[in-house]
């Protein structure tokens, strides 16, 4: 067993103790008392039988009272701890999901945007879903190891006298020889090892299945299937193109890990079944050997008849306990590979330099932003998508960023909001590099409506306020300003969006979603408001309307509009024309039209459509 596997498992147990200490202590004590319980019966029934054999009435009474008192006490204690444990068991999954979700929320944006991080995250999820691999298995291993250790320790304590008590019949005195005890123990050890060997073989098979990707992929098929068939958005396609038959086929064939034709189902009928039979065979042989040895010693007069049950039961427990320990060790080894993936994800460092300067809350909103020789390429890419951008911009003005799709407009905004840091050059706020500001405070000066904005399946007011503290009047005002009437919604601002969280939820159109996203930006009331082209949801006329409306709404604030439709932005004080990651032109609509440049060319081309 590799040291690393133990180290990573210990780290996980420590994490569990830190996360839910009451639970882990209850689990430990509960397991102790549950393990002790059968031994109370084993121990006292032996003593009672021995007392009955010699007809000692006082002794019988004393043993009986002690028996009942201890049995009742241990039963009560194990029940209490088990209840605490049950309660936490229910929340275990929730704790894990929260751990992974919190990590995702705390990641730097560029990591969240990174395909590798998502692959890691979905591996963690899928391993957990497939066989509880990862933290849940580490927890189960802890419980099983405790159980097995208690069984072995208590069993040893109760069976030592089996080997130390000498037989009275000289014909059987060879049973007292240490070599016999040694051989018997060795045989028992080998058999219990065999039991665990076969069980761990079964486990290995499952784990390999998960690790090699077949399982993961099969699991993905399974999740995909259940999500796809129940998604209302997919329903028209499923019906139009009769996708049902393909989907059913995938569900039934060997690609679905839980299907009756999956590899694992086939293996269960074959090799895995064989391993199970062999493990049962080995444990039956083990029991037979224990009975034989104990009976032989009793027959030769080594102890009274009552102790017979005690020895058989406690030795059986020891060896089954040992078998369990081997199994746990094997499982710790297999699970280590999965825990490694869990920690690869949980240990992703936060690379972004978190500054300490506070962003002054200026009442006069007098901010100035400057891009100084900024170039940028996305991580894992060699291509610069912004090239040597230099540009100064004062708050209070309306700025438009226009350019073809893919010219770098959104990337420019992502840099401005520090979702990424420039690869070269710097961005300054009032003359200071934005990296030096506290990240959360810096973000607070921007209200953003991204192209692919997301709304929650929560209440309308939760979406607009995006906070646990909600100013309802302000929510209503923001919604009205954004061009929607809150009264139109069934439960006004308490209406749930979408159907995920409430059957009463409303399905909203793309245009409405857009307006709610704008209301959210208005509610935030930040000095900068940025609107990235809402092309997906809106036709050109509505887009132009929203931009012009917003222009009136934002009043003295700074607004930055991004679009590839020039007509939406012609009212702006300043227009930057992006082309291939560079600022091609800069000026007002009228200035730019006077020049024979890209703007004029694009304007002429688009005007043909819209005017």
Residue number with CB closer to ligand ADP (403 or 505): 403
Residue among 386 and 460 whose Cβ is closer to ligand ADP: 386
Nearer to ligand ADP, 58 or 382 (CB): 382
**Interacting stretch for ligand ADP, rule CB under 6 A, among 326-334, 361-369, 407-415, 511-519?**
407-415
Based on the shown chain and the rule CB under 6 A, indicate whether residue 411 belongs to the binding site for ligand ADP.
Answer: yes
- Pairing label, strands 424-429, 368-377: antiparallel
Distance CA 161, CA 430 (A): 84
**Binding to ligand ADP, residues 151-170 (CB under 6 A):** none
Using CB under 6 A as the criterion, what x/- string covers residues 334-373 for binding ligand ADP? ----------------------------------------
- 403 lines the binding site for ligand ADP (CB under 6 A): yes
Determine, following the binding rule CB under 6 A, whether residue 409 of this chain makes contact with ligand ADP. Answer: yes
The two beta strands, 582-587 and 368-377, are unpaired
What gap in Å lies between CA 531 and CA 526, rounded to an integer?
13
Nearer to ligand ADP, 421 or 472 (CB): 421
Q: Minimum Å distance from CB 125 to ligand ADP?
A: 22
Q: At what angle do helices 305-346 and 115-131 cross, to 10 degrees?
A: 160
Closer residue to ligand ADP (CB): 21 or 406: 406
Shortest spacing between CB 585 and ligand ADP, in angstroms: 15
324 Cβ neighbours under 8 A, 6+ residues apart: 144, 147, 148, 151, 196
The pair of structure tokens assigned to 233 is 């958005």
Give the residue among 2, 37, 21 at the shortest CA–CA distance from 147: 37
Q: What are the phi and psi torsion angles at 363 (to 5°)?
A: -65, -35
508-537 burial, b for 16+ CB within 10 Å, e for fewer?
beebbbbbbbbbbbbbbebbbbbbbbbeeb
| Ramachandran area for residue 539 (φ above 0: left; ψ -120 to 50: alpha; else beta) | beta
Q: Which position among 230, 356, 405, 468 is part of the footprint of ligand ADP (CB under 6 A)? A: 405
Q: Please work out the total of residues on this chain that contact ligand ADP, with binding judged by CB under 6 A.
A: 12
Question: Is residue 381 a contact point for ligand ADP (CB under 6 A)?
Answer: yes
When binding is defined by CB under 6 A, the residue of 410, 447, 478, 563 that contacts ligand ADP is 410
For ligand ADP, which is the closer residue by CB, 123 or 532? 532
Q: How do 432-433 and 424-429 pair as beta strands?
A: antiparallel
Q: Which of 30, 131, 215, 408 binds ligand ADP (CB under 6 A)?
A: 408
Question: CB under 6 A: which stretch of 42-50, 81-89, 283-291, 402-410 binds ligand ADP?
Answer: 402-410
Backbone angles phi, psi at 396, to 5 degrees: 105, -15
Site for ligand ADP in 112-141 (CB under 6 A): 113
Residues 263-302 as x/- pattern, contact with ligand ADP by CB under 6 A: ----------------------------------------
Nearest residue (CB) to ligand ADP, 245 versus 381? 381
Q: Which residues contact 214 (CB under 8 A, 6 or more apart)?
A: 257, 263
Q: Binding to ligand ADP by residue 378, rule CB under 6 A?
A: yes
Instruction: Pick the closer one to ligand ADP by CB: 50 or 563.
Output: 563
Residue 405: CB minimum distance to ligand ADP, A: 4
Helix %, strand %, coil % for the chain, to 5? Answer: 65, 10, 25
Closer to ligand ADP by CB, 367 or 376: give it. 376
DSSP-assigned letters across all residues of 91-151? HHHHHHHHHHHHHHHHS-HHHHT-HHHHHHHHHHHHHHHHH-TTHHHHHHHHHHHHHHHHH
Sheet of 424-429, strand order:
384-394, 368-377, 424-429, 432-433
User: Which CB sits closer to ligand ADP, 82 or 414?
Assistant: 414
CA 232 to chain centre: 26
CA distances from 85 to 77, 89, 95, 140 (A): 12, 6, 14, 12
**Per-residue contact track with ligand ADP, 97 to 116, x per CB under 6 A?**
----------------x---
List residues binding ligand ADP (CB under 6 A).
Answer: 113, 378, 381, 385, 403, 405-411
């Amino acid at each position: 067993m590799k040291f690393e596997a133990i180290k990573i498992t210990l780290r996980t147990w420590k994490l569990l103790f830190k996360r839910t200490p009451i639970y882990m202590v209850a689990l430990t004590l509960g397991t102790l008392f549950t393990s002790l319980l059968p031994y109370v019966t084993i121990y006292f029934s032996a003593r009672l039988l021995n007392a009955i054999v010699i007809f000692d009435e006082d002794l019988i009474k004393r043993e009986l009272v002690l028996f009942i008192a201890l049995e009742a006490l241990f039963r009560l204690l194990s029940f209490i701890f088990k209840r605490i444990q049950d309660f936490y068991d229910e929340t275990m999954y929730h704790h894990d999901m929260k751990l992974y979700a919190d990590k995702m929320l705390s990641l730097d944006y560029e990591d969240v945007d990174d395909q590798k991080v998502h692959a890691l995250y979905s591996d963690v999820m899928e391993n957990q879903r497939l066989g509880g691999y990862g933290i849940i298995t580490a927890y189960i291993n802890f419980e099983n190891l405790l159980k097995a250790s208690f069984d072995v320790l208590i069993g040893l304590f109760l069976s030592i006298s089996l080997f130390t008590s000498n037989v009275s019949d000289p014909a059987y005195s060879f049973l007292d020889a240490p070599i016999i005890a040694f051989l018997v123990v060795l045989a028992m050890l080998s058999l219990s090892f065999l039991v665990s060997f076969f069980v761990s073989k079964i486990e290995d098979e499952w784990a390999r299945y998960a690790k090699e990707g077949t399982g993961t992929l099969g699991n993905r098929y399974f999740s995909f299937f259940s999500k796809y068939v129940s998604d209302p958005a997919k329903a028209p396609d499923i019906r139009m193109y009769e996708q049902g038959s393909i989907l059913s086929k995938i569900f039934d064939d060997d690609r679905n890990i839980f299907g009756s034709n999956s590899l694992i189902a086939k293996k269960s009928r074959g090799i895995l079944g064989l391993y199970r039979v062999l493990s049962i065979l080995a444990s039956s042989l083990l029991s037979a050997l224990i009975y034989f040895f104990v009976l032989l010693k009793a027959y030769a007069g080594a102890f009274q008849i009552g102790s017979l049950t005690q020895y058989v039961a406690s030795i059986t427990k020891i060896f089954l306990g040992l078998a369990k320990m081997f199994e746990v060790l094997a499982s710790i080894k297999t699970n280590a590979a999965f825990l490694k993936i869990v920690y690869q994800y949980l240990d992703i460092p936060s690379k972004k330099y978190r500054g300490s300067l506070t962003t002054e809350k200026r009442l006069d909103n007098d901010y100035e932003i400057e891009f100084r020789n900024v170039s940028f390429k996305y991580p894992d890419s060699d291509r610069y998508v912004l090239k040597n951008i230099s540009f100064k911009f004062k708050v209070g003005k309306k700025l438009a960023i226009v350019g073809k799709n893919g010219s770098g407009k959104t990337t420019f905004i992502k840099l401005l909001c520090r979702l990424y840091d420039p690869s070269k050059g710097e961005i300054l706020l009032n003359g200071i590099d934005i990296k030096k500001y506290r990240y959360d405070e810096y973000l607070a000066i921007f209200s953003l409506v991204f192209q692919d904005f997301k709304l929650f399946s929560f209440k309308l007011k939760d979406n607009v306020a995006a906070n646990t503290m909600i100013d309802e009047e302000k929510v209503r005002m923001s919604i009205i300003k954004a061009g929607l009437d809150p009264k139109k919604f069934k439960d006004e601002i308490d209406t749930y969006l979408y159907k995920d969280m409430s059957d009463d939820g409303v399905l909203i159109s793309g245009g409405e979603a857009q307006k709610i996203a704008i209301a959210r930006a208005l509610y935030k009331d930040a000095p900068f408001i940025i609107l990235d082209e809402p092309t997906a949801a809106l036709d050109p006329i509505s887009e132009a309307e929203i931009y012009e409306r917003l222009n009136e709404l934002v009043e003295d604030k700074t607004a930055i509009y991004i679009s590839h439709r020039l007509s939406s932005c012609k009212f702006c004080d300043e227009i930057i024309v992006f082309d291939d990651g560079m600022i091609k032109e800069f000026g007002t609509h009228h200035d730019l039209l006077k020049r024979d440049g890209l703007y004029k060319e694009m304007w002429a081309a688009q005007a043909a459509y819209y005017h």
